[in-house]
Amino acid sequence: MVIPSHFHPKGRRRVGPCGGYLEVDFVVALAILVLAVLPVGYSVLQERKLTRAYYSRAVAMEIVDGEFEVLRAGAWRPFMEGSHSYQPRAESASQLPPGRFTLTVTGEQLRLVWQPEGSGSGSAVVREGRGKQ
Rg over CA atoms, the chain:
33
Specify the 3-state DSSP secondary structure of 7.
Answer: strand
User: What is the chain's percent helix, strand, coil content, to nearest 5?
Assistant: 45, 20, 35
pTM, full prediction: 0.69
Domain membership flag for residue 7: no
pLDDT at 105: 94
Task: Encode the chain (133 residues) as per-residue pLDDT tens digits.
Answer: 656 555 555 555 555 555 566 788 888 889 998 898 888 989 999 999 999 889 989 999 999 999 999 999 989 999 999 999 999 999 989 888 899 999 999 988 999 999 998 776 678 899 999 987 6
pLDDT at residue 72, rounded to an integer: 92
Supply the range of the domain harboring residue 34. 21-130
| Domain membership flag for residue 14 | no
pLDDT of 119 reads 74
The answer to the question of residue 10 being in a domain is no
| Residue 2 is assigned to a structural domain of this protein | no
Start-to-end C-alpha separation, the chain: 100
Task: Read off the DSSP letter of residue 15.
Answer: -
In 3D space, the residue among 86, 111, 119 whose CA is nearest the CA of residue 100 turns out to be: 86
pLDDT at 13: 57
pLDDT for res 12? 56
Domain contains 61? yes
Task: Give the helix ranges, DSSP H, for the chain.
Answer: 21-70
Neighbours of 55 (CB within 10 A): 14
Q: What is the largest CA-CA distance in the chain?
A: 109
Q: Is residue 93 part of a domain?
A: yes
Q: Is residue 35 part of a domain?
A: yes
pLDDT of residue 108: 87
pLDDT at 11: 54
Number of domains forming the structure of the chain: 1
Tell me whether residue 6 is in a domain: no
- What per-residue confidence (pLDDT) applies to 126? 95
